[in-house]
A and B are shown apart, each in its own frame.
Chain A
């Protein structure tokens, strides 16, 4: 089976996949997207290309797979280094970007899970943790337009996909994120003004429908 030079094993609702879509769009890379349905059992292709984690996204470049979204982002940045750098050039700024990306990687998804994949008392606790987490990120943002400073960069790419799930969080949790974290919402809207970001993120209401179906699959509802 002849594949295009760049193939992305993708899933439209997956925040980790969205990161890679944004990066490829920033770099102007032409690629083929192969959709994995998260509501169905994992495909043969996915199991073959990511035997260790069995998760999307997987970037396949010249028939070689790269797994883990942050690893893929850095790979894309290094291979297509002629335009739109994701990571800052300055070593100290670069280290800070890596540090915050790692922090988001370790905490954010898990924190959001405690809102969208739970109910009742557990969800109430989850909501509080969610707000605390995003308030903390808001402090890191400060008065900067983006996490990277004046330009949209690596940390913004890593975090912004979660914004497409905000409607789902707010509806399921019955709360308004803007009330507690107005700067995060302002930052997100600023990012969404970028064509590469807007075209890479799904419609929030469609995501909500997906999350409802996924909750059923997980046995939450």
Chain B
């Protein structure tokens, strides 16, 4: 019996799963992709990520690693080849800073702004707009981490903003990240789509839209 060496427990529609699978692909690593029904989580998922019970989880010879940013750092350390993070410590710090900003500040605010109701949604919208403005200005300022010439750690994180936010907005019928208001963010997204293999690997909008329209 062959034990699967590398497995990803994921969800095709998840930006976090995408990051991990794309990172493995970039490193030329072969892996098994296991699709999890988040309404019906498997025992394997619950055992592998008892703390958060979420996807993605990377299982490397049975050892589980959870949290997409942690997984990406792990992948970068274990498999050489295409580097995900910059080699310079200061640039690495910048990449980590902006990744946390996108994941821990911007995304939760944007999600509540677009999918929430009432006062919560209003407050979240104010916060999200503030964060989007900060991000847009940073990109416009010429920070080379957002160059998008070759895809890396921060770009994989940024796809949640450039590829997923527009679809969430449409599913909820609420605008947030518009091209007019945040041209630099949109331009970043366009650069990323131009990188080899990105457009083909990303789950397309026409499949994501019905998924997010159904999911509460």
Contacts and interface: CB of A to CB of B under 8 A. Distances in A.
Nearest to B100: A68
Interface in B63-80: 63, 65-67, 69-71, 73-74, 77-78
A103 interface: yes
A71 B90 contact: no
Given A52-B134, A71-B96, A71-B100, A92 B60 contact: yes
A46 to B, nearest CB: 16
Interface string A137-171: 00000000000000000000000000000000000
A79 B100 contact: no
Which one of B67, B97, B104, B134 has the highest number of Cβ atoms from chain A below 10 Å of its Cβ?
B97
B92 interface: yes
Given A68-B97, A71-B100, A99-B70, A94 B77 contact: yes
B89 interface: yes
B101 interface: yes
Contact of B67 (A75, A91, A99): A99
Size category of the binding interface on chain B: 20 to 34
Interface string B8-29: 0000000000000000000000
20 contacts: A66-B93, A67-B97, A68-B96, A70-B100, A71-B93, A71-B96, A71-B100, A72-B93, A74-B93, A74-B96, A75-B92, A75-B93, A78-B92, A92-B60, A92-B63, A95-B70, A95-B74, A99-B70, A102-B69, A103-B51
A64 B93 CA distance: 11
Contacts of B93: 66, 71-72, 74-75
Nearest to B104: A106
Contacts of A103: 51
A207 B89 CA distance: 34
A35 B4 CA distance: 53
Nearest to B89: A78
A94 B78 CA distance: 11
Contact of B65 (A52, A75, A92): A92
Interface string A28-53: 00000000000000000000000010
A98 B70 contact: yes
A68 B73 CA distance: 18
Nearest to A79: B89
By DSSP majority rule, is chain B's interface helix, strand, loop, or mixed?
helix
B74 A91 contact: yes
B90 A102 contact: no
A70 B63 CA distance: 24
Interface residues of A, number: 23
A91 B78 contact: yes
- Nearest first, the 5 A-B pairs at minimum CB distance are A78-B89, A75-B93, A95-B74, A98-B70, A91-B77
A22 B73 CA distance: 24
A75 B97 CA distance: 11
Interface in A91-118: 91-92, 94-96, 98-99, 102-103, 106
Contacts of A70: 96, 100
A99 B57 CA distance: 12
Contacts of B104: 106
Nearest to B73: A98
Among B67, B92, B93, find the residue whose CB has the most chain A CB atoms closer than 10 A: B93
